Structure 1
Amino acid sequence: MTTARGYRFLAVLVLMLLPSLIAAQSTGLARLNDRDDLLGWEAVGRLDISGRGYCTGTLIAPTLVLTAAHCVFDAKSKQMHATDTLTFRAGLRDGVAIAERGVARIAVPRGYDPAMTQWLDRVRNDIALLELQDPIVSSDADPFVLHSGQGVGTTVSVTSYGQGRSQALSRQRRCNIVADADDLMAFDCDVTFGSSGAPVFAKVGSRGRIVSVISGGATLEGRKVAVGPSLATIVDRLKAQLRNAPRAQPDRIRRLSVGDRNQSTGAKFIRN
C-alpha cells in the first residue's frame, strides 16, 4: 500500500521523467584505475558483510560512515548484522584499501523497518550511520560534508562499487535529480547491486557534498531511475543516537523490535 505522500512523489516523478523536461545529459561510468584517479575520493569505500556481500559507504567524519540502512540487515531474517561481520575499506582498489576499519556500532532511524511493505516509506528512512572502531585520519581519507537544498534539474554525480565493478570505485560524473518530493529523491544515475549506500554528490565550491545516498532502483514509465532519501535532519538524529547510547551496552544501536541473530546472506539492492 502506498501512502498519500508516496503517491505525490510518484506523480512528481512521472512528470519529471518526460524527456523534454530533462535538459542535462548523463555521462557514463568511469573506473578510478590508479592512485591519481582516486585522489579526493578516498573517503568513499566498500562496506563488506562477512565477505559475502557488500555496499558502498562514505566517511562523513573520521569515525562515521554513511550508508543505506538495508545494507546492515539480513534480507531473509530481517535481523541486523552483527558489527563484527562488517568491515569498511576506504578507497578500495584491486584488493588494496587506503584504510580498513571494523564497525563498533550502528544507528538506523527508528522509522526504518526492513520488513516494511510500503516501499517508498522504507526508502525515506533507508539511512544508516556506522561508528568505526578506530578513526581514519583525514590525511588518508578526507571526510565529505552533507548538503541540502538541491532540487529537480540539479546536476549530481555518483561514486560507487557495483556488480561487475566491485574491485574499484566507478564514478559517474554527471547525472541529474529528476524528482524531489516528500523527503525522497530520484536520479537518472547508473546504479546496480552494490551501489546501495553510494553517495550522491552535488558540487558545492571546489568539492562535492552529499545530498543523498542510493537506496535502490526502480522502473517507471519504462525508464530506469535510482531513488534515495533526502538527508535533511535525519543524519543529525542518528549522530545523537550514537552520542546518547552508553558504550557499555551491546555494540550496535537498534530499535527494540530488531533482534540479535546474525544470518548474513549479503547486502541486497532494493527493487520496487
Structure 2
Amino acid sequence: MNTIKVTRIFLIYVLMLLGFLDSPFFIQRVAFAFSHDVSLPGLDPNNEHRMWVNLKEKPWCIIGRVQTELGQKCTGFFIAPRLIMTAAHCLWIKKTNRLVPTRSVHFLWGYQKGYYIKDIKIKQIVINKEYVGQSKINVPLNNIVKDRAYLVVDKATINSKDIVPLQSISSLSHAALWLGGYEQDKKEVFQVDPHCNITNIIQVNTHQKVIEHNCEATFGSSGSPLFVKDKNKEWSIIGMQIAAFTAGKGGIANPILQLMQ
C-alpha cells in the first residue's frame, strides 16, 4: 500500500472518530476518492456526477433497497400501492439455481444512510416462468428481457397519488434520463445520474427490445427505474435497470411496459 493510500485511510478514520463523516458532502467526496481505486462496471471515475436526491419527494418516494437475509442488495420501486418491481437476478441463488425464500426478502422503503421509512416484508415473489438465473456478466439478451420480479406486499403502503406513471419508449429514442441506485461503491445512499441518455434501442426478438443508455450505474443499481421528465416537468418511468456495461459507463435496461406483459 503506498503512502497516499495510507494517509487517505488514516484521515478517514480520524474524521469518523470526530463525527465529520455525517456530512453528506463529505461522504460524496470520500466515496468519489475511493471510486478511483476500485474498478466497477458502468462507471467513469474521471467523470463523476452522481448526486443525492430527497427520497421523500416525488418521483423518488417510490424507491427502496431490496435486500435478502443472504446478503443480496439491489434497488426496487413501487409500481402500485401493493406491488414493487425489481430485477429477478437480485433474488436468485446461483448455488441452488432457485429464488431466495420469500420470507428472507425485505424492502427498505426510502433507505438512506441506515434510515428508512419502513421495512416491508414481502408476501409473494412473481417472476417470468422462462427466466433463467445467471452470473452477473455476459448475460444473453434473450434472458435479460425476462429479468424482472414483482414483490407483492400484504397491505397498501404508499399513497396511490405518489405512484409514477409508466410510459412507452416508442417516441423517446434519445430521451434524457435519470437513473439511480444503491450502488456498490456507495451502497448506503441512493444516488442519481441526472445527465444521461438513451443511446440505442435493440430489437431482441419479434416482440421484445432492450434499452442501451450511458448513465453511470454499477452493481446494486439493478431494479432501479429509468425516469424521464417532460417539458412540463412531469415524471414517468420508461424502463428498469438490469445490467452495467463491463467497460465504461452505461448499461442495459428493459422497457417498463414490456415487463408488464
State if a TM-score over 0.5 links the two structures.
Answer: yes
Residue 227 (structure 2) pairs with residue 207 (structure 1): no
Q: Which amino acid aligns with 1:49?
A: T
Residue 121 (structure 2) pairs with residue 102 (structure 1): yes
Deviates more, 1:95-104 or 1:200-209: 200-209
Q: Paired residues, what number?
A: 205
Out of 53, 68, 91, which is 1:49 matched to? 68
Partner of 2:173: 152
Q: Residues 178, 37 of structure 1: CA spacing in aligned structure 2 closer, same or farther, 3 A cutoff?
A: same
Residue 150 (structure 2) pairs with residue 119 (structure 1): no
Please give the alpha-carbon distance, in whole angstroms, between the structure 2 residues aligned to 1:165 and 1:172: 13
Please give the alpha-carbon distance, in whole angstroms, between the structure 1 residues aligned to 2:195 and 2:235: 12
Q: Which amino acid aligns with 2:178?
A: S
State the secondary structure of the residue aligned to 2:122: strand
| Segments of 4+ moved more than 6 angstroms | none
Partner of 2:112: 93
Q: TM-score with structure 2 length normalisation?
A: 0.71
> Residues 189-223 of structure 1, C-alpha deviation per residue, up to 9 Å, x if partnerless?
1111111111111114433211111111124xx54
State the secondary structure of the residue aligned to 2:141: helix
Q: CA offset at residue 114 of structure 1?
A: 1.2
Out of 146, 151, 158, which is 1:137 matched to? 158
Please give the alpha-carbon distance, in whole angstroms, between the structure 1 residues aligned to 2:57 and 2:146: 31
Partner of 2:216: 190
Residue 244 (structure 2) pairs with residue 217 (structure 1): yes
Please give the alpha-carbon distance, in whole angstroms, between the structure 2 residues aligned to 1:121 and 1:151: 22
Partner of 1:228: 253
Q: Which amino acid aligns with 2:212?
A: A
Contact map agreement 1:198 1:214 (CA 8 A) in 2: yes
> Residues 55-107 of structure 1, C-alpha deviation per residue, up to 9 Å, x if partnerless?
00010111111111111211332211111110011111121112321111111
Q: Residues 159, 118 of structure 1: CA spacing in aligned structure 2 closer, same or farther, 3 A cutoff?
A: closer
Q: Residues 195, 118 of structure 1: CA spacing in aligned structure 2 closer, same or farther, 3 A cutoff?
A: closer
Please give the alpha-carbon distance, in whole angstroms, between the structure 2 residues aligned to 1:124 and 1:132: 24
Partner of 1:261: none
Partner of 1:59: 78
Q: CA offset at residue 38 of structure 1?
A: 4.2
Unaligned runs of 5+ in 1: 1-25, 238-272
Q: Which amino acid aligns with 2:57?
A: L
State the secondary structure of the residue aligned to 2:245: strand
Partner of 1:174: 195
Q: Residues 132, 58 of structure 1: CA spacing in aligned structure 2 closer, same or farther, 3 A cutoff?
A: same
Unaligned runs of 5+ in 2: 1-46, 204-208
Q: Which amino acid aligns with 2:193?
A: Q
Q: TM-score with structure 1 length normalisation?
A: 0.69
Larger radius of gyration: 2
Deviates more, 1:175-184 or 1:130-139: 130-139
Contact map agreement 1:58 1:143 (CA 8 A) in 2: no
Q: CA offset at residue 229 of structure 1?
A: 1.4
Q: Residues 44, 87 of structure 1: CA spacing in aligned structure 2 closer, same or farther, 3 A cutoff?
A: same
Q: Residues 206, 27 of structure 1: CA spacing in aligned structure 2 closer, same or farther, 3 A cutoff?
A: farther
Q: Residues 105, 195 of structure 1: CA spacing in aligned structure 2 closer, same or farther, 3 A cutoff?
A: same
